[in-house]
Structure 1
Amino acid sequence: MHVVDELSAMDHGELSVTRTDVDGITVLGLRGEIDYESAGALTRAMPPADPTAGSRVVVDLSGVTFMDSSGINALIAAHQATRAAQGWLRLAGVRDSVLRTVQLVGLDTLATCHPTVRDALAA
């Protein structure tokens, strides 16, 4: 992996978000809980949609211990934005409790789930 740019962590309540660019792909590393109060941090960390360059994003959920409907809605919006920009959204490292929520609402049919960030980048 080649890291092009790394932003410092942004702490928002119970969620920490780091943003790293790897060979033109944005990798968002999340730690903590994604709920109504913290979902905005995820939304703000998303790269601006650029239809000329495509928007490719991997969201690393391996450090997420809880996600409610606000997190699901933020990820659906992220999927829609990346798709509109001729790109994609992939999820990595989704823990069992969060994975059940992702599967229950069908988010895994929109954004593919991968065991690790490396797998998501290689897919």
Structure 2
Amino acid sequence: MADNAGNQEAAGRGQLSVVRAEVDGIVVLGLRGEIDHQSVRALTREMPPVDPATGTGSRVVVDLSGVTFMDSSGVNALVAAHHTTRAAQGWLRLAGAHGAVLRTMQLVGLDSVTPCHPTVEEALAA
């Protein structure tokens, strides 16, 4: 996975870094740190724009394996990304969520709306 872009936002409790790569035409966003109301911009800024006419940028995997905390801001950003990609006949897949982040996703039902996979490799192959 080649690093195409990187971004870091200061967060109230920590930081969030986003590394954007492309694998076989699929955008992969690798996240590390905490997603809260102050850092969520780093995630939303790196989401690929979607052209509903062509579907460009409509296949996205978000690697959450390096995320240690996520509040409702992160959940809302992922739900919005899910809706945007679906509108372009594409998809959003989540990978590597664990611990408190996985529990948050389960509590709000995000894991039942957006496919969640144990690894990026499995998300890419699904």
With normalisation by structure 2, the TM-score equals 0.91
SS of the equivalent of 2:123 reads helix
Which residue identity lines up with residue 118 of structure 2 in the other structure?
P
With normalisation by structure 1, the TM-score equals 0.93
What corresponds to 1:91 in structure 2? 94
In structure 2, which of residues 9, 30, 36 is the aligned counterpart of residue 12 of structure 1? 9
What corresponds to 1:59 in structure 2? 62
What corresponds to 2:35 in structure 1? 34
The structural deviation recorded for 1:6 is: 3.2
Which residue identity lines up with residue 41 of structure 1 in the other structure?
A
The structural deviation recorded for 1:8 is: 3.1
Q: CA RMSD in A?
A: 1.1
Note the residue ranges of structure 2 that are not aligned, 5 or more in a row. Answer: none
Which residue identity lines up with residue 42 of structure 2 in the other structure?
A
In structure 2, distance between residues paired with 1:11 and 1:122: 28
The structural deviation recorded for 1:109 is: 1.3
Note the residue ranges of structure 1 that are not aligned, 5 or more in a row. Answer: none
**How many aligned positions are there?**
120
Runs of 4+, deviation exceeding 6 Å: none
- Percent identity over paired residues: 68
